A and B are shown apart, each in its own frame.
Chain A
Amino acid sequence: MKKLLVWGGLILLLMVVGLGLIRAQQGQVGQGEQAPNFELTTFEGQTYRLSELEGKVVVVNFWASWCESCKPEARDLEEAWRMLEDRGDVVFLGVDYVDTEPEAMAYLEQFGITYPNGPDKRTEISQAFRIKGVPETYVIDREGRIAHRQIGPFQSLEDILAVIEPEL
């Protein structure tokens, strides 16, 4: 009986640590995987759910006002949005990662961002995508799968369009 307890305890402990290790090593949501469903409420109060956007190409960009490397790609992202806006089947969503509202609004105004942006309440969305930092961008295809993961900033407008176009 004692033996069972001891070995059982050991196996339980190893399982917990092992799972923790797997999770730590896991990295972000993988290409080809189904994107996790999430709900984003914008600064203006509008709510978007990924499940309701099926059939559209969704570009999810994680950013923060205190993130220096997010700034260069901000303008390019906005320009890409303006080019694709009229199509009606592309959605750009900006997820503001652990930020403060005044600074976030100032950031959006500085770069003239017009696509919907909202705070990542309780870091639920970033945890679902398992991001390791900002900026990170995920292009989700019409079936809801991750078509492209951009870890770090986009280098140019062309790069952004290059990863979205195949999904259109």
Chain B
Amino acid sequence: MAANIGFGTLWLTLIFSLFGVGAAVYGVKSKDRAWIDSAKNAMGLTFPLLTLTVIALIYLLLTNHYEIAFVGEVTSRSMPLYLKVTALWGGQAGSLVFWSWLLAGFASAVTLRKWDRDREFLPWVIVVTLVTLAFFLILSVFFENPFARLWQTPSGITVSFSQPPGGLPFVPRDGQGLNPLLRHPGMIIHPPMLYLGFVSFVIPYAFAIAALITGRTDDRWIKLTRGWTLWAWLFLSLGLVLGARWAYDVLGWGGYWGWDPVEVSAFMPWLAGTAFLHSVMIQEKRGMFKQLNMVLIILTYDLVIFGTFLTRSGVLSSVHSFAQSAIGPMFFVFIALTLAVSLGLLMNRWNDLRSKNELNSFLSREALILLSVLLFLGILVTSFWGVIFPLISELVTGQKVTVGPPFYERATGPLFGGLLFLLGICPLSAWSFSSLKTLRRLIWVPAVLSLGAVIGPLALGVRRWPALLAFWLIGFAFAVLVYELGRDVNARRKRRGTSILASLGGLVRRNQRRYGAIVIHLGVVMMALGVIGIESFQSETQATVPEGGQLELGSYAVTYENLDNFNTNDGRNVARAEVSVAKNGREITTLYPRRDFFFDSNQQVTIPGVRSTLLDDLYVILIDWKEISADGATFKVYHNPLVKWLWIGTWVFILGVVIAAWPDRRPRAAKAAVPNRSGVRA
């Protein structure tokens, strides 16, 4: 019953989407507002309809309806309730519906905004959004139906929604259960956040296409989507960081990013999106580079679809990928079509988008931002090539090759370093003009202060120049940002006589974007510190020891004290080791690394014990493919310096985006207009 409701509403949403596309196009052709409004309403209904679909599917997951194939694949009786809900995105069919639901959320939200000023965009925004939604719905309805049932037929067990001839309902007693790796809090929010990030970039893209189609070559579309882009970028960034956090917490290799092809596929839209975020600032301030901005948003959208395609089509095999299925060719066709159409529209308007680009100074802020865009695209090209090359190599030479971390780190390291440097210099550079002279005057204080960031590591014995250079860059960027902030706060204090905190508050209210950006960049610098720490200075050791045995790593000693073995009431057998950690001979803490074995899926995960401080993490994990007993257990100990800054930096980053993106309630007149050399600015 629930399955019928679910499948029915899925179908209905698809029909409404297709109707919306048709009605919008017809409305434009016949210049009939009524049809366009009708399309808008259809789009508005997609979210409520899909919510019913999702509710139906969750109901089936919660109530152990194992005659539904998907339910059996991702749940089991012993799973706790909350995991049964999150199992919705634990398998291909469910996650596709989840994706469509999120997209419908944004689609319906877009219909709620005031469209009076921008009626010419409306039909095309509807068309682009609903075409994307319809595509994903088609995948669910025809290829990966989460409501398909199991049937016992003469030729075996088959899966389909409706009863096949000679088939009888087949209801397994229990399900396989969710992959244990997915039963971790990090894994619970990582996919939704990532999907949110992917999906929300559809809206800015839709507006961009609408601008191309209607010939609105001004930056109205950018103004309208500024908020969307910022939130989309936040979600995507968070999705990536959450994935890294989950990998660090659960996967047990003491790291957070493996340059796995599927990870890289999710990273690529972020690179294009970040480049876009920065580049539109130039268009807003100086009216330049409109062509570039169009290219970047089209790139971001198509990389989102392409990344999804790579993950789900079986073209790449990795720890992340879903099982191979027939949706690969569908994705391929969709990507080919959207790329071709987007490019065609862009080429059509190419000359109209040509803006009078004037750049007098190589060191002006626009120039530096452009340079940063080049660096982001450089990393993007490297990543793309690294993902595609194994495919090409196999096609051309027949040999399978792996493109792994050494390649990516060597190729992108200098580019990231360059970005860090620009992060430091850019705030000091002025719009339209900066010279070496003016920059030099501003640079020397932070540059000198940042040498302090190098003295510390040097004193601790660090000699490797790339690491020292990285520390200097981090110190420099940090010094510049704090300096900028401090200078402004000071000036306001002097003028108003207010306290530091009040000055800060006042500044932020006056110019959310600027101070939001400063905070975001501070967060990024902290994250860079975490990355440098763990990448350059991680050390590890592994050994099998009996109870009472000890492992030594640097100044740390880890002693295996005790083992506890018990069954939980949610279907796990837990082997929990108690280890005491001593530093320089003095005991500092006790950790409990453990191995969870799940009876339903016959799989196990290991959860490390971690002692985390600002200076370093001590990370102890049980090796679960070796015996775990009181006579002997194998431990791996990682020492990860500074990695906590990666997570702290993320929080600061989030704060910065919230500051920048928070709706500005001031009346329009209060915002000063910025004149520029070309004279045209809103």
Contacts and interface: CB of A to CB of B under 8 A. Distances in A.
B329 A16 contact: no
Contacts of A87: none
Contacts of A3: 347
Interface stretch (A17-25, A39-47, A144-152): A17-25
Interface in B311-346: 313-315, 324, 328-329, 332, 335-336, 339-340, 343
Contacts of B328: 21, 24-25
Interface stretch (A6-14, A57-65, A89-97, A159-167): A6-14
Interface stretch (B386-394, B440-448, B516-524): B386-394
B394 A23 contact: yes
Chain A interface bracket (under 10, 10 to 19, 20 to 34, 35 or more): 10 to 19
Interface in A76-110: none
Contacts of B313: 21, 24
Q: Chain B CB within 10 Å — which of A10, A14, A24 has the most?
A: A24
A17 B388 contact: yes
B332 A18 contact: yes
B682 interface: no
Given A7-B343, A10-B339, A17-B388, A25 B395 contact: no
Contacts of A31: none
Contacts of A25: 314, 324, 328-329
B388 A16 contact: yes
Interface residues of B, number: 20
A21 B313 CA distance: 8
A14 B400 CA distance: 20
A20 B347 contact: no
Nearest to A16: B392
A134 to B, nearest CB: 16
A1 to B, nearest CB: 13
A17 B392 CA distance: 9
A19 B395 contact: yes
A114 interface: no
Given A17-B315, A17-B388, A24 B339 contact: no
Contacts of B347: 3, 6
A37 interface: no
A127 interface: yes
A150 to B, nearest CB: 17
A10 B346 CA distance: 14
Interface of B: 313-315, 324, 328-329, 332, 335-336, 339-340, 343, 347, 388, 391-392, 394-395, 398, 400
| Nearest 9 A/B pairs, CB to CB | A20-B391, A24-B315, A24-B314, A20-B315, A14-B336, A21-B328, A19-B395, A21-B332, A21-B315
Interface of A: 3, 6-7, 10, 14, 16-21, 23-25, 123, 127
6 contacts: A6-B343, A17-B335, A17-B391, A21-B328, A23-B395, A24-B314
Given A17-B332, A25-B329, A123-B400, 5 more contacts: A14-B335, A17-B335, A19-B391, A20-B391, A25-B314
